[in-house]
């Protein structure tokens, strides 16, 4: 058969196979599977549609409740799809719906008054931190979700952790009890704990009244402190144990030498070590403790904490600043657990100096703040923006020692950059690359955009912040709602030792997975990432995929912040 003939035959066969309203085999209608506040900008991603009309139908009865046309689709390099957007902002009747084109339907979603559509999601994403608690049993009465009991025995007492050294001699052991596991592994890392605590404590400060009433059903619920602050205190108490009181230095991590097998915490009994002491870690510790000293000042449930935290912060800062040559963290050769290694210390020092300036008013910290760096979306590897965020929200404490207009200008530049990526990209996502933890980057971007909306008093950032949440909850190229236990197309096989080993078919709820990334496509064997050409789709719901399907403190925290800000924006 010659080329023209085969083409004609192809067309003929195709026309026989297809109904009147042509439906592409790869059409996809990806909505936010939890739903949209009635007042919000409401968008869903439509991929590869050959027609330019869609409808919204009632999820139960199938009755059409809304119809609209679609703008012309454009090809999106990151996903390989022809993408357009269903914008149904005008439709605001509360209910449960699906989008529909021809016979193709989206996963169901709700439209609900105010931000209440996210109430359960916010509770559970924050509750995820309770499930991360180390050295304690997770009790049944705090561990139920949708009728499933995620309780477990205590693991990793960590009351005697060995200080790692290459030098033979007497073993030194220290207490490093408590705290949260970092991720799907059982390590505890100071650097990642620090950014996570900044994110959560700042979220609390921005909407404290709201969080004061948020019941997480944790052991401390019912005391005088907001549950989110009780939960953070579990981590802060552990973090204080990471400081060497002799000189103020701070250990980098508590881990076994190798990542444990996929077993429960109580079954992981290998020796745990305190490994490394570097200045980035001490600055991050100083920043976190200085911030926490303000948040818990006058707290009657933790009366001694504030003073203790501030003293610890100053001591850690002095130790770090006294280093003549900064040494960067490197794993010892017999250790393969995470490193969270910094490549230079300017950002950590900027953050620490910002928090200490706010907490003490001491001008020596202001002299460090040069504002010459590029402020990025917050990331454990670049924490300058955490300082910027704290400065911006604590104008009164600065007493003119820092130019608040400059702080706001730098923050606005970052928010505007995100906004233009959102406006200009076919895929809307304010991100140039899909790296390890891309979902954390989207959550952090949304968090920054939501802060910009409130602080700069400009609504234009809110729709982009909302879209970051829509992306995470399903309006993305994979069609997954990336939070465990939520949505109808949701991760089931996360890279989390507890979820793999607990014998329960569904993963622990409330966790944001890392998301699409091409950083490490060999974790499940080379053949497992069929979509390697398209980074926006490079996601695997398999427990081997630690680069795309792990969970981590520093990804959940910005999601909590983003959701809480969205909820409060629509009150």
Please tell me the count of residues contacting ligand 9MR according to CB under 6 A. Answer: 11
Q: What is the DSSP letter of 118?
A: G
- Of the residues 152, 550, 559, 566, which one makes contact with ligand 9MR according to CB under 6 A: 550
Please report which helix (H) or strand (E) contains residue 101, including its range: strand 95-101
Query: 570 and 39 in contact (C-beta within 8 Å)?
Result: yes
Site stretch for ligand 9MR (CB under 6 A), options 135-143, 181-189, 347-355, 562-570: 181-189
Would you give the binding string for ligand 9MR spanning residues 328-367, x where CB under 6 A is met? ----------x-x---------------------------
Residue 550 annotated to the active site: yes
Buried b / exposed e across 42-79, counting CB within 10 Å, b at 16+? bbbbbbbbeeeebbbbebeeeeeebeeebeebeebebb
* Strand-strand pairing, 74-76 and 81-87: antiparallel
Please report how close the Cβ of residue 435 comes to ligand 9MR at its closest, in angstroms.
Answer: 7
Q: Measuring CA to CA, which residue among 439, 455, 450 is closest to residue 394?
A: 455
Which of the residues 530 through 549 are near ligand 9MR (CB under 6 A)?
Answer: 546
- Of the residues 552, 557, 566, 567, which one makes contact with ligand 9MR according to CB under 6 A: 552
Residue 523 annotated to the active site: no
Based on CB atoms, which residue is closest to ligand 9MR, 158 or 182? Answer: 182
Tokens of 362: 């001491």
Which of the residues 399 through 418 are near ligand 9MR (CB under 6 A)?
Answer: none
Given the residues 182, 185, 355, 523, the one annotated as active site: 185
User: Can you give the length of the chain in residues?
Assistant: 571
Given the residues 81, 235, 470, 550, the one annotated as active site: 550
Please report how close the Cβ of residue 23 comes to ligand 9MR at its closest, in angstroms.
Answer: 39
- Of the residues 151, 244, 436, 528, which one makes contact with ligand 9MR according to CB under 6 A: 436
Q: Is residue 387 involved in binding ligand 9MR (CB under 6 A)?
A: no
Cβ-based neighbours of 465, under 8 Å, separated by 6 or more: 446, 447, 449, 450, 453, 562, 565, 566, 569
Please report how close the Cβ of residue 280 comes to ligand 9MR at its closest, in angstroms.
Answer: 14
Place of tokens 């390099």: 77
Please report how close the Cβ of residue 275 comes to ligand 9MR at its closest, in angstroms.
Answer: 13
Q: Is residue 378 involved in binding ligand 9MR (CB under 6 A)?
A: no
Q: Cα(518)–Cα(538) distance, rounded to whole angstroms? A: 6
Q: Measuring CA to CA, which residue among 243, 242, 216 is closest to residue 229?
A: 216
Please report how close the Cβ of residue 382 comes to ligand 9MR at its closest, in angstroms.
Answer: 11
Q: Is residue 187 involved in binding ligand 9MR (CB under 6 A)?
A: yes
Q: What is the DSSP letter of 401?
A: S
Q: Cα(333)–Cα(500) distance, rounded to whole angstroms? A: 28
Q: Is residue 182 involved in binding ligand 9MR (CB under 6 A)?
A: yes
Residue 96 annotated to the active site: no
Q: Map residue 514 onto helix, strand or coil.
A: coil
* Active-site residue list: 185, 495, 541, 550
Contact residues: ligand 9MR, CB under 6 A:
182-183, 185, 187, 338, 340, 436-437, 546, 550, 552
């Amino acid at each position: 058969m010659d080329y023209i003939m085969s083409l004609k035959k192809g067309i003929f066969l195709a026309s026989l196979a297809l109904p009147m309203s042509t439906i592409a085999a790869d059409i996809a209608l990806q909505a936010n599977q939890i739903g949209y506040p009635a007042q919000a900008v409401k968008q869903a991603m439509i991929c590869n549609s050959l027609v330019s009309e869609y409808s919204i139908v009632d999820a139960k009865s199938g009755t059409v409740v809304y119809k609209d046309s679609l703008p012309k689709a454009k090809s999106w390099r990151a996903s390989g799809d022809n993408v357009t957007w269903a914008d149904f902002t005008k439709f605001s009747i509360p209910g449960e719906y699906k989008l529909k084109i021809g016979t193709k339907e989206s996963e169901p979603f709700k439209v609900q008054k105010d931000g209440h559509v996210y109430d359960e999601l916010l509770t559970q994403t924050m509750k995820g931190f309770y499930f991360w608690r180390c050295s304690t049993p997770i009790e049944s009465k705090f561990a139920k979700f949708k009728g499933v009991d995620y309780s477990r025995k205590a693991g990793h007492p960590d009351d005697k952790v060995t200080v790692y050294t290459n030098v033979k001699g007497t073993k030194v052991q220290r207490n490093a009890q408590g705290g949260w596991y970092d991720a799907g592994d059982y390590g505890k890392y100071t650097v990642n704990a620090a950014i996570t605590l900044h994110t959560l404590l700042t979220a609390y400060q921005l909407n404290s009244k709201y969080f004061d009433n948020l019941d997480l059903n944790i052991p401390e619920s019912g005391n005088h402190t907001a549950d989110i602050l009780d939960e953070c205190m579990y981590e802060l108490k552990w973090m204080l144990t990471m400081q060497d009181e002799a000189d103020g230095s701070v250990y980098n991590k508590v881990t076994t030498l190798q990542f444990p097998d996929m077993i429960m915490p109580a079954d992981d009994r290998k020796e745990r070590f305190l490994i490394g002491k570097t200045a980035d870690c001490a600055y991050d510790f100083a920043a976190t403790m200085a911030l926490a000293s303000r948040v818990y000042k006058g707290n009657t449930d933790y009366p001694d904490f504030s003073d203790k935290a501030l003293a610890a912060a100053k001591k850690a800062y002095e130790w770090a600043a006294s280093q003549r040559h900064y040494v960067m963290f490197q794993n010892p050769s017999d250790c393969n657990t995470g490193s969270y290694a910094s490549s230079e210390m300017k950002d950590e020092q900027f953050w620490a100096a910002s928090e200490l300036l706010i907490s003490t008013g001491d001008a020596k910290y202001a002299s460090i703040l040069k504002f010459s760096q590029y402020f990025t979306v917050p990331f454990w590897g670049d924490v300058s923006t955490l300082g910027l965020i704290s400065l911006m929200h604590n104008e009164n404490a600065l007493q003119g020692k820092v130019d608040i207009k400059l702080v706001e200008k730098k923050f606005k530049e970052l928010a505007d950059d995100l906004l233009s990526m959102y406006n200009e990209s076919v895929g809307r996502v304010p991100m140039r690359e899909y790296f390890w933890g891309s979902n954390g980057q989207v959550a952090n971007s949304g968090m920054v955009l939501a802060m910009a909306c409130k602080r700069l008093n400009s609504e234009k950032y809110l729709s982009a912040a909302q879209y970051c949440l829509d992306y995470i909850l399903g309006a993305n190229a994979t069609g997954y709602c990336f939070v465990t236990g939520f949505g109808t197309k949701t991760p089931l096989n996360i890279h989390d030792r507890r979820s793999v080993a607990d014998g329960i078919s569904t993963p622990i709820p409330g966790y944001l997975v890392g998301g699409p990334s091409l950083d490490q496509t060999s974790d499940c064997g080379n053949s497992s990432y069929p979509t390697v050409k398209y980074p926006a789709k490079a996601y695997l719901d398999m427990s081997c995929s630690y680069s795309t399907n792990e969970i981590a403190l520093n990804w959940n925290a910005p999601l909590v912040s983003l959701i809480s800000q969205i909820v409060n924006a629509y009150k």
